[in-house]
Amino acid sequence: MRYRTIGTGAVRVAAIGLGCMPMSWAYSASQRDRQGSLRTVRAALDAGCTVLDTADMYGPYTNELLLGRVLRERRDEVFLAAKCGLLAGDRHIVANGRPAYIKRACDASLRRLRTDVIDLYQLHRIDPEVPVEETWGAMSELVAAGKVRALGLCALEPRGRRGRGGGGPGGAVADRYARTLRVLARIQQVFPVNAVQAELSVWSPEALRGLLPWCEARGIGLLAAMPLGNGFLSGTLTPGGGFEPEDLRARHPRFTAEMMAANQPLVAGLRRVAARHDGATAAQVALAWLLAQGRHVVPIPGTKQEHWARENAAASELRLTPQDLAEIAALPPAQGSWE
């Protein structure tokens, strides 16, 4: 396993983390299995991963309860990245950045996670009703209280709020990061940002433009969410294969049969590169490509499957050549977007 240092404390974390969301949220609910998920988390730790990314909203709450089970035994091996500020209601999600709520949410997360400190507490969404400085100020008080070690910001917005659309691939998303950079400048005045979590992958590279350079210049970690393109870049999904009704891909414009077929050249390109590296997979190439983008990038591929957790962790050892990187850079931009 390779390592990276992130944030003001130059904390050392494994280069590949584990996104725990699929164990309790977003994908193929019928395949969720508590015992299998526990094995997956343990397999990731055995393979040297340290970052476990969770949120009170996943489940809701059950993802933290699940991790609590592992943390009880292996807390010292884990860099625990939790989140606050977003609540899952019945068929809708809502931001809550009120200081009193954030403090209550932290205490509740600590109880469920069976730990007395969270390594990275991330603001899941900015509450439009509350000045972000107030929310961030409350989070900084949690650091002062010793409940949290460092703070992070998730730079993802709910569907339909990514800007006005149009402007070609990534156009509206580039605007989104311009706003994020303004928010980051504001909250940095209140308390240091140690990590930013944003979507970043071969088929969603927009964060490379402004957000990643901002993080790299400051040694701030960029936790790459959805690094496998919600599974697409692994090449294991069949166009037209369908998704369960609650699976986010059932409504995602890039996961219609037509768009999945149209984006196959991306998978083919990753496979061509993988074929030059003995036994590598397209998913591993997608993760190694992320590691090559910056010294502070930490992909957090999500899975509930033990074998994929091992496969993803092993991507840390895969070194792409300049030719590999040039070929991936020359792949066609992805078709289909939320905008």
Ligand X SMILES: NC(=O)c1ccc[n+]([C@@H]2O[C@H](COP(=O)([O-])OP(=O)(O)OC[C@H]3O[C@@H](n4cnc5c(N)ncnc54)[C@H](OP(=O)(O)O)[C@@H]3O)[C@@H](O)[C@H]2O)c1
Which residues are known catalytic residues?
58
Q: Give the number of C-alpha atoms closer than 13 A to the C-alpha of residue 334, restricted to the C-beta side.
A: 21
Q: Minimum distance between the CB of residue 49 and ligand X, rounded to whole angstroms?
A: 12
Task: Work out the number of other CB atoms within 10 angstroms of the CB of residue 282.
Answer: 24
Nearest CB to ligand X, comparing residues 238 and 323: 238
If DSSP codes are grouped into helix, strand and coil, which group holds residue 240?
coil
Q: Minimum distance between the CB of residue 225 and ligand X, rounded to whole angstroms?
A: 3
| C-alpha closest to that of 313 among 300, 304, 296, 294 | 300
Single-letter code of the amino acid located at 302 = G
Q: Is the peptide bond before 60 cis (omega within 30 degrees of 0)?
A: yes
What does the block give as tokens for 222? 């960029």
Give the contacts of 166 (CB within 8 A, at least 6 positions apart). 172, 339
Contact 147, 116 (CB under 8 A): yes
Q: Minimum distance between the CB of residue 30 and ligand X, rounded to whole angstroms?
A: 11
Nearest CB to ligand X, comparing residues 144 and 328: 328
Nearest CB to ligand X, comparing residues 242 and 326: 242
CA distances from 313 to 299, 300, 301 (A): 10, 10, 9
Mark out the alpha helices in the chain (DSSP H runs): 34-46, 62-74, 99-113, 132-144, 171-188, 211-218, 257-262, 264-275, 282-291, 306-314, 322-329
Q: What is the largest CA-CA distance in the chain?
A: 54
Classify 332 in phi/psi space as left (phi over 0), alpha (psi -120 to 50) or beta. beta
Nearest CB to ligand X, comparing residues 170 and 301: 301
- Report the distance separating Cα 198 and Cα 222, nearest Å: 7
Q: Minimum distance between the CB of residue 249 and ligand X, rounded to whole angstroms?
A: 8
Nearest CB to ligand X, comparing residues 7 and 227: 227
Task: Work out the number of other CB atoms within 10 angstroms of the CB of residue 67.
Answer: 28
Q: Minimum distance between the CB of residue 52 and ligand X, rounded to whole angstroms?
A: 9
Q: Minimum distance between the CB of residue 125 and ligand X, rounded to whole angstroms?
A: 7
Nearest CB to ligand X, comparing residues 115 and 234: 234
Residue nearest to ligand X according to CB distances in the complex: 302
Q: Minimum distance between the CB of residue 149 and ligand X, rounded to whole angstroms?
A: 19
Give the contacts of 141 (CB within 8 A, at least 6 positions apart). 99, 103
Contacts with ligand X, residue ranges (CB under 6 A) = 19-22, 26-28, 31, 53, 124, 154, 156, 197, 225-231, 234, 236, 283, 300-305, 308, 311-312
If DSSP codes are grouped into helix, strand and coil, which group holds residue 76?
helix
Nearest CB to ligand X, comparing residues 54 and 115: 54
